[in-house]
Each structure stands twice: as C-alpha cells, then as structure tokens.
Amino acid sequence: MHIMINIFHISKFLIQNLDIQSHAVRQQYPRNCKMYTYSISQSARLMEDFLELARDNTKNDLETCGILGAFLKMGTFYVTTLIIPKQESTSQNCQAINEEEIFAIQNEQSLFPVGWIHTHPSQSCFMSSIDLHTQYSYQVMVPEAFAIVMAPTDTSRSYGIFRLSDPVGMSILKDCPEEGFHHHNEPADGGPIYEHCSNIYINSNLRFEIFDLR
C-alpha cells in the first residue's frame, strides 16, 4: 500500500515562508548533549496518520513500528517518508522483517534514516531497554536521528520524541552487550541516558509519503 499525502513538495522549491513552529518540548540543549548540526522538520500529520495505521494493532495490544526517511536541504532534514515494514509484534516489542524492502525505498529516493516511530499500546510513554538499543543503531549512523513513542493510553503524555544523550547515553549503549529487556546503569554524571529532542520542528505544509508494506 502506497499513500501519498499531497500537501507541499518542499524539495522542488526554495524554503521560504513555511509555517513552522517549534516542537512543544523546545528547550535549551542539556549540559551533556552536544549541539546537533542539523535541525529536523516533520509533517504535523505524521503522528496522527501513523496512529490511524496502527489502530487495529493497538486495539489488540500489539506494537506497531515505522521508519522515517528524510532528505537534507539547507541545513535541515525534512521527513518526507514513513515506511511501515512487514513486522512481528507483541504487546511490548515490534521487530521489522524483510528489511531489504525498507532499504530499497530509502535507496531509490536517496533518503537518510533519520528516525523511527512506534506505539506503546498499553504502556506509558518511555524508552525501554530494547528501544534504546534500536535508537542507538539509528543514532550511530545519523547523530540527529530520533525516536517517536506513541502511547495513546498514557493520560499524562500521549507521545514523546526522544534521542540518546551524547556522548553519555551513546557510550552506555555502545558498551552494552545485553539483549532483550534489561537494566542499564545510570550515567556517572547523574544525567539521563535519553532525553527529549529540542531540534524537531512541526511543519504544517510539509508533504510526506506513506509506504505500508504489511
């Protein structure tokens, strides 16, 4: 299934007069977080549309995951592609399969793998140990990569946009050999392993495409 959201094809135009607002968690970069070179712009509809695609799984208490692809222009990553891969899911985990289909789309459209999105259908909004390892695999390739957690049953926070702290969180995950659900030691400096992103911007005019490969 291939869905195209016809809003605005930013790659064909100079970037000007865009209705861009900072993500709600805008803040100064934490003391243990390096300044990222590029900002990220994503469609205002991306999270809502993803939740709709995940609705059946969510009703059955199964996680759903997707991959976010972006192109780089004038110092900003523009998230223009949401790929829903074939996947195996439980209530606490989701694993993409047939990953060559994901790579084919990314290569064909010259996209950077800037992040991923997944649901916590019956859990709160946080990053599990498995999520942290998944995020490390993205962030080690693209330092600006981020994770979106959608938690529709969490009454205090229905979504979060996270990134591993760098260098502290990245170092902990790099040196961790564990798999599955497990404990990570707290950073020696008292800082967090992961944190809210502060360079994600919501763009109400940005067009994006959805590839549902399930």
What are the residue ranges spanned by the domains of the chain?
A: 41-182+189-212
The tally of CA atoms less than 13 A away on the side-chain side of residue 111 is 24
Best CA proximity match to 207, nearest among 45, 2, 9, 13: 9
**Res 50: pLDDT:** 98
Q: What is the DSSP letter of 185?
A: P
CB 72 within 8 A of CB 142: no
Cis omega (within 30 of 0) for bond into 167: yes
**Res 132: pLDDT:** 97
**Res 129: pLDDT:** 95
**Res 37: pLDDT:** 74
Alpha helices in 55-196 (DSSP H): 55-59, 99-108, 129-139, 168-174
**Res 2: pLDDT:** 43
Residues contacting 186, CB < 8 A, separation 6+: 193
**Res 22: pLDDT:** 33
Angle at 56 between CA 54 and CA 60, to 5 degrees: 110
First-to-last alpha carbon distance for the chain, in angstroms, is 8
**Res 36: pLDDT:** 57
**Res 16: pLDDT:** 30
| pTM given for the model | 0.82
- The CATH superfamily of 41-182+189-212 is Cytidine Deaminase, domain 2 (3.40.140.10)
Residues (pLDDT < 70) of the chain are 1-36
